[in-house]
Structure 1
Amino acid sequence: MTETVLRPHAEQAHAAELAALAEHDDRQRPPSWRLSPWAVLNYLLGTTLPDGTVITPKYIGPRRLIEVAIATLATDRALLLLGVPGTAKTWVSEHLAAAISGDSTLLVQGTAGTAEEAIRYGWNYARLIAEGPSEQALVPSPVLRAMREGRLARVEELTRIPADVQDSLITILSEKTLPIPELESEAQARPGFNVIATANNRDKGVNELSSALRRRFNTVVLPLPDTAEAEVEIVTRRVSDLGASLALPADSAGLAEIRRVVTVFRELRAGRTEDGRIAVKSPSGTLSTAEAISVLTGGVALAAHFGDGVLRPHDVAAGILGAVVKDPSADRVVWMEYLETVVRERDGWSDFYRACRELSG
């Protein structure tokens, strides 16, 4: 019996789609790739195969950016996905690795405490003490495993990693080699190896990449959705997927609230209403698409467990308040001004205004 998990890896959740694409894929594949670049693109952006199989879109955004990302991974240059929080950098990284390598789990999660061993290798100290340095005592990092297996390694939040640890990637990316001096040997990357890194461009100045390391990457900047329609589609798909994984009841009447949350986030991000008539102040937070998904997923849970199952304004009001008011003093003023000058006067938003006003005090 297959074990149920809360969040399957991309290659597990979309195994049927990947298999169908492979079956219809007669294009040239780079060494060790599971699919051709053409098939990888269709996996990311969605298509319908000749036999009627529907490949659902994983990314909704500029086609050319995904083409550049895929083409980069077919060369000897690594890929850096850059953008503000919530622009699907991690999501795209995972799905690229799933489609190209069939394995999205070779992951280094960057933090301020990430050590060099996470990128290079570590040791099983019990065996090291008992036997001395040996291949059996060596603990390979996800990057080293990717080199040996000819797969993609993922490095999340690269600019959160200390600069000296970041630079351990330079030799790996330029020479495709990782020296292991303790064993008087080296690991040489097999065909198919490459690195996908992500970075938040709001982290500029935290641990900026050295010029030497930046030259090893081709940078693709993922933007926020251009239109409200695109953002609504992204949010609707992800809320539906998350709701299914959490066994929340499907909500067929939630589109109005999804549009409302997306509108609020887009207007506060842009500093003006959608019609351009009213200027509004922006809060300190990013109000990303990912945060909109979180607000709505929480709202669906409230509606399912403490309401009538239909997503309503009072189910999303608390989540929006928490997303907008990160700084209790400055952001609260911004939010109250937006409520009174925009939301209060908007036709059909009276229930939403009352719900937000009641929580805001």
Structure 2
Amino acid sequence: MLPFADNPVLAEAAEVGRELARTRRVAATIGSPRAALAADAQRSLEARLEALYEDPETRGLLDGALTARAGVLRAAVESWRSTLAARELREQATAVATDAASERRSLIQSEALLVATLRGQADRLERDRSARLAERIDGEAFRDGVLETLAAIRIREARAQLERGLLLTGQMRAIITEALPALTRGEPLLLLGETGGAKTALAEYLARVELGREPELVSGYGDITSAQLIGSHELRSVGGATVSVFVAGPLLRAMTEGRPVILDEVNAMPAEFLKRLNRILQLRPGQQFGVQENNGAPVTIAAGFAVLATANEQTPHRYRGIDRMSAELVNRFGANSYRVHYPDSGLEYTATPRENALLAAASIADASGEVALSVDELERVARAAFVSQQVFAGSHGEGFSRFVSTEREIDGRPGLEESVLAPRTLVAIVQKVAGSGGQVSLDQALRRFVDGVMHAEDRQVLTVILQSQGFLSGRGDETPRSQ
């Protein structure tokens, strides 16, 4: 909405309008114990807006503001449509390449020309969009209104993306675009990264949305056996007799049914299985796999099968039970190994962590894009999360180094040993606040998070990070660098 703070009448009308929209949603909720209360409040707010509009002088101000608002909306919608059109063109170009990859061939000349044309059209659309928007901006208020409207649209889109399982940041789109052709050929994929960075979510999105198949999901743990993953004989009662029947495990089911299998935290799986996996990773749809657990019976691998593996960074003091993957195993993934970085990775300390902020906002936004937390709170908690993620990942550069103790900096160790305000942690915290009905503040939720950290020095570092963003006042006066 246009910034009306300089005019008290317009500021009041804007606030009443926002509250009315929220109140109408509650009043329309079937079964809500507060629906009747909201209905009464709705009538009162509507009456207040009518009273403002009845005054001739106020009516002129409101009409002018509404006209300006309509101009803002038109400019924002036109800009967003161009963004979507450019994105669609790029997706069409990717689809051409993916189709060729699924047929195990390179692009023919006409396809290569089509891909170049589509991408060129997308680039021109983006340039024209920026130029047209710049031409339409008439003053600071108009610009701010357009940017605010575009932000609300982006939040609604991000909310829909999260409901499908993954926030499509630039990093995620790039990995999907590059990995998809190989996956359609049945080649294996390895996603590496720190905890909470959405590796599993990305693997599930690739399987369900991009490949269109429900995956088998196997979580890694130290005592899982090859028989549990591939299959084993079990005693069953058949016609009154007890017989031994071979029952396929998740890996074999995926092979025979033509579905992807996700091996989550593959480096937590036992060496015995990883040795078998070396061979499996070389197989492709159409080839046969001799099932050792079923007397070597051959199984033909159906189209659609692919292995998607995730692995945490090989840092034993952080991830218990994690072993270093052999070079032989890693090499089986070839060029299909991707490092999944935390959101906003690579930004300078002073830069705005837009991806963390968008994730936090989208995770608590309602269908209209309304967010329960203030812009200031979202920006500060997103920055705290961003800083903690970079410190955890080992950033010792300008700005981040203030949160790394001298001893750790000398040793080249990360400033946080075991704990981090990872993306999924950030989402859990803001959702707790937004879903508390005003009973839990953001500061309280962050305090609970820090209190639950087991590592004493990590608690101190996280406290300093949060204090740097205005949270947890009065706690953790000593900085890590003083140790």
* TM exceeding 0.5: yes
Task: Choose from 142, 152, 168 the match for 1:59.
Answer: 168
Structure-2 residue corresponding to 1:300: 434
- Structure with greater helix share of residues: 2
Among the aligned pairs, what percent are the same residue? Answer: 22
Task: Choose from 372, 380, 392 the match for 1:260.
Answer: 380
Question: Distance in 1 between the 2:355 and 2:315 partners?
Answer: 26
1:35-66 CA-to-partner distances (Å, cap 9, x unmatched) read: xxx9xxxxxxxxxxxxxxx7847321324322
Q: Flag the 1:140–1:239 CA change in 2: closer, same or farther, 3 A.
A: farther
Task: Choose from 280, 287, 291 the match for 1:180.
Answer: 291
Question: Distance in 2 between the 1:256 and 1:186 partners?
Answer: 61
Whether the 8 Å CA contact 1:150–1:189 is kept in 2: the answer is yes
Structure-2 residue corresponding to 1:104: 214
Does residue 326 in structure 1 map to residue 454 in structure 2?
Answer: yes
Question: Distance in 2 between the 1:139 and 1:299 partners?
Answer: 46
1:258 is displaced (CA, Å) by: 2.6
Structure-1 residue corresponding to 2:338: 220
Whether the 8 Å CA contact 2:451–2:459 is kept in 1: the answer is no
RMSD over aligned CA atoms reads 3.6
Give the unaligned 5+ runs of structure 2.
Answer: 1-87, 104-114, 116-156, 348-352, 405-414, 477-483
Matches within 5 A, 1:1-361: 27=96, 29=99, 56=161, 58-62=167-171, 63-127=173-237, 130=241, 132-133=243-244, 137-176=245-284, 177-181=288-292, 182-203=294-315, 206-217=322-333, 218-225=336-343, 226=345, 227=347, 228-240=353-365, 251-271=371-391, 276=399, 279-281=402-404, 282-284=415-417, 285-302=419-436, 304=437, 306=439, 312-322=441-451, 325-327=453-455, 329-338=456-465, 342-343=468-469, 349=470, 352-354=471-473
SS in 1 for 2:282: helix
Question: Distance in 1 between the 2:442 and 2:396 partners?
Answer: 20
Question: Distance in 2 between the 1:61 and 1:94 partners?
Answer: 18
Q: Flag the 1:58–1:268 CA change in 2: closer, same or farther, 3 A.
A: closer
AA at the equivalent of 1:106: E
Rg larger in structure: 2
SS in 2 for 1:215: helix
AA at the equivalent of 1:213: L
1:94 is displaced (CA, Å) by: 0.6
SS in 1 for 2:201: helix
Whether the 8 Å CA contact 1:267–1:273 is kept in 2: the answer is no
Structure-1 residue corresponding to 2:7: none
1:128-183 CA-to-partner distances (Å, cap 9, x unmatched) read: 995544xxx22212221111122211111101111111222222222344323435
AA at the equivalent of 2:439: F
Total equivalences in the alignment: 291
AA at the equivalent of 1:238: S
TM-score calculated relative to the size of structure 1 = 0.68
